[in-house]
Chain A
Amino acid sequence: MLKDITLGQYFPGNSVIHRLDPRTKLISVVVYIVALFCAESWVSYGVMLAFLLAAITISKIPPKSIVRGMKPLIVILIFTGVLNLFYTDTGRVLVRFWKLAITDDGLTRAILMTGRILMLISGTFLLTYTTSPIALTDGLESLLNPLKKLHVPVHELSMMMCIALRFIPTLIEETDKIMSAQKARGADFESGSIIDRAKALIPVLVPLFISAFRRADELATAMECRCYQGGEGRTKMKLLRYGRNDFLAFLAEALLLAVVIALAFFGL
């Protein structure tokens, strides 16, 4: 069951999007999110969706894996949809039971809001799927570099993020192993109330944490052995450089934002 989590996973590839500078992709995602929140109408949603689908096609990421990544978020999606459905009291009433009414405005809002979340998540997935975590943290480090002047430990933060991402699959595998071991000794994770199930997880979490600490200790030793001494004086194998494609990506993003804002301006 834990194998379904694809959060923060990278799919190696060689598409145009894979080869973009990570900084371009990071900025693009921010611009894309801003555009998404400026989009208010069906037309602008259509533009956003077209852009997203085009990006997914170019990236050659199998759409299935994006859908799979959505699974853990189903609860949030349903919650948002239902809340918007009942919370809107303007517009024509479609259905009414007890004190709750579903209006046509509410229905529109519910669809648009869940759509927005779906597009938001797919957009950010596209970033993590096409960018290796190291490139991602490199990009972030480089974008946040000005903050070093304010004594923000930018390198340390990006190193931590990189290691955290590296260990997600390892720890998931470990959790699976511990769960199997506890099941073999009669632990029951599937029945009982929510509280019972949460309690049943304690014998999984304790060994998981102990092993995570041991791993951290060994990793720290191994890093020291490989001459790690913080960000000071460190160089990179892959230097970040903006290319022609990055320029085109920025252009496309700017165009998208302009179109969405223009559409909002004309009330579409």
Chain B
Amino acid sequence: MEEIISVEHLAFAYPGMEGQASVPVFEDLSLTIERGSFVAILGTNGCGKSTLAKHFNSILLPSGGKVYVGGIDTSDPDRIMAVRRCVGMVFQNPDNQIVANVVEEDVAFGPENLGIASPEIRRRVDKALKQVGMYEYREHAPHLLSGGQKQRIAIAGVIALEPKCIVLDEPTAMLDPRGRADVMETILRLNREKGITVVLITHHMDEAAMAQRVLVLHQGKVLSDGTPREVFSQVEKLHTIGLAAPETVELCWELNKKGYRLPLDELNPQECAQVLRDWLKT
């Protein structure tokens, strides 16, 4: 499959504060993300997840190595807008991403920046709002909406730019369970129905389990990379860096410690229940 993002020998360090040495985040990181895929990036705090995400969008530029987005070098100053049209970013706090006082005006912000003609902006805004299921709220004031709704507005604001890929940096961290479920459903739908590549940075294992591929970052390096089943069944490896597998896997892992022999690849309660039932029968 064709790749949309490719990171080649990326090196990056945050400049140090006065008198202190700079803090290296990546020394030699290489990875690729395929077009149309849904990739979850996991890792503990400070492992470089958000820093990596900011490289996909020319917000940060590599100090060594290259990042290519849709074949474009992100460090090319003349192509920054092309990079940003290709990859959209959604951040953790929806309040700090919404520019305008009316939902539809906010969604229109991106296309307006591109200098698109007015009827086309209208079409894109309506389409984006329908895709995230917020069309009925188009004339509301964003600060009166719930967190999940605000985050879906932020997603609409990004897809109105018609990107090929969206990168979401912990989009559900500040939301209640209901808002989380709504946002996840929206993300999955965009990936499946519209073929938009999704890179989801998250702390929630159950969200990562919905992805096609999971990447675990640790100290600026890729620790594991594979399907959720492959990655989460390596429970010990996850534990060594302070992460946990989804609760269903953890349950079976604990049972195995007591001498049972259960598979470690059940990603949701249904699968787990099935495995336990099958095991009880034998």
Contacts and interface: CB of A to CB of B under 8 A. Distances in A.
Contact of A225 (B89, B102, B114, B125): B89
B97 A162 contact: no
A235 interface: yes
B96 A229 contact: no
B81 to A, nearest CB: 6
A63 B109 CA distance: 33
B268 interface: no
Interface string B91-106: 1010111111110110
B172 interface: no
Interface residues of A, number: 31
Nearest to A230: B113
A233 B91 contact: no
Nearest to B81: A227
- Summarize A's interface: helix, strand, loop or mixed: helix
A229 B141 contact: no
A114 to B, nearest CB: 32
B85 interface: yes
Given A133-B101, A166-B99, A237-B125, A225 B113 contact: no
A227 B81 CA distance: 6
A226 B110 contact: yes
B246 interface: no
Contacts of B109: 223, 226, 228
Given A170-B143, A235-B118, A235-B121, A229 B113 contact: yes
B37 interface: no
Interface string A205-226: 0000000000100110111111
A238 B138 CA distance: 14
A132 interface: yes
A239 B100 contact: no
Nearest to A231: B113
Contacts of B108: 237
Contacts of A149: none
7 contacts: A134-B100, A134-B102, A218-B91, A225-B89, A226-B161, A237-B111, A237-B121
Interface of B: 54, 57, 59, 81, 84-85, 88-89, 91, 93, 95-102, 104-105, 108-118, 121-122, 125, 139-141, 143, 154, 157-158, 161
